[in-house]
Each structure stands twice: as structure tokens, then as C-alpha cells.
Amino acid sequence: MSAPAFASVILDVDSTVSGIEGIDWLAERRGPVVAQEVAALTDRAMRGEIALEDVYGARLALVRPDRDGIDVLSREYIANIAPGCADTIARILSAGIEVKLVSGGLRPAILPLAEFLHLGPGDLFAVDIQLDGHGEYASFEATSPLTTASGKQAVVESMGVRRPAIAVGDASTDLAMRPAVDCFACFTGFRHRDAIVRRADLVVATFDELLHVVLPP
């Protein structure tokens, strides 16, 4: 095997590491009307048609994620992990390459997935939420850059990741990381967005393909 091509791998979570869109999944628990409205807002934001910051709070106001929903969602993230993802991350880590998860999803729901992948709390960057004493939704971390369309760039720049670095994701919010890394790979294993594919440095459909990019045979 050749020397690693990258020193850092930065991964989106929803529709990349796992096959679900967490906030959309929570919306489905609120019934078809809320589910359809939230899914439409998510899709338009991920395509870059509207700014994420214009819809992030509105989606959570519709969904109102509670403790029970977050707990179930955390299990769904793991149950729907991308084929080959866990093995690829394990092999990347064993090669001394750092791995970070950067998501516009909800941190409490994604943290168990990070632990499943043998990543520490400091390796996960996501949006926190606040629940009241009854476990009901109270508010979200509105100041997080990850609630904005270009926020992932700011988050990656603040990490001080080792270079060269590759970012992997499926949406416009992931493509925003491109100025902060050396390569952006569009992941099409769950969703194929033509506008993102056209602007990516490369395209990978599986984590096995990603492994060969990071650790060339």
C-alpha cells in the first residue's frame, strides 16, 4: 500500500456516513404534513436553492425534537450506517489519519454514532439543542456556524486539521468546505445531486472507493 494521500478526512454525516437525514427523520414522527414541509425545505437548502440559515430554525420549530425522538434517532443513525463506512474509518484511523465528523445535524443524536465509529466527542462538530426539564424541545444553538449555508468552512478552518485534508459530503453545505481543504469528494452513495457532482474534485459512491482515495493501493 502506498503512503496515505491525506492527513485528515472530514466527513459529513447525513446521507454520507449514514443514509438518513436526521431532522427529516424526526419530522416524519410528526405526521405527513410536517414531514413533507420539512423535507422540501431540507432538499432546497442542500441543493443550494435557499440558504440553510433561512430554514434551520423553522424546521426545528416544526419538528420540536424531544428526548425520546433524539434517542430513537441516535439508534437509526447507527442502523443506517453506509456500507463499509465503519471498516473504512477504522483502517484510516489505524494509518494515523485523523477523522472528523462535521454535520448540520443534532449533536446529541449523532454522538452515539461517533462513539460507534471509535471517534471521541471532540471529533464531532454538530448543532446542540436544549431540552426542558420534561425532555421537550426548548431551543437550539442558534449561534452555531453549522446552521448556516457556508458554516462548515468556518468550522473546518477553526479546527486546524492536518494537511493535506479531504472533505466528503453530498450537499451544497458540504461543498462549502472546499476552500478550507485540499480536496472535496462528492459522496453519491445515498443521494446524487448533479450541481454538487459538477463542482466536486472527485466523486465516490462507496466508502471502499473513498478508502482507495485516502490510502492508495
Q: What is the pLDDT of residues 130-179, one digit of tens each?
A: 999 999 999 999 999 999 989 999 999 999 999 999 999 999 999 999 99
- Peptide bond connecting 83 to the previous residue in cis, omega within 30 degrees of 0: no
d(CA 109, CA 96): 27
Check if the beta carbon of residue 185 is closer than 8 Å to that of residue 202.
Answer: yes
Predicted model pTM: 0.93
d(CA 194, CA 217): 29
Enumerate the H helices of the chain as residue ranges.
22-28, 32-47, 56-63, 67-79, 85-94, 107-116, 151-159, 172-175, 194-199, 207-214
Assign domain 8-214 to its CATH architecture: 3-Layer(aba) Sandwich (3.40)
Low-confidence stretches of the chain (pLDDT < 50) are none
Check if the beta carbon of residue 160 is closer than 8 Å to that of residue 153.
Answer: no
**Pairing relationship of beta strands 165-169 and 183-187 according to DSSP bridges:** parallel
d(CA 75, CA 53): 27
What pLDDT sits at residue 51?
84
Torsion of CA 5, 201, 47, 207, to 10 degrees: -40
Distances, alpha carbon 53 to alpha carbons 42, 50, 65, 109, 213, in Å: 11, 9, 18, 20, 33
Q: Which residues pair with 202 in a beta bridge?
A: 185
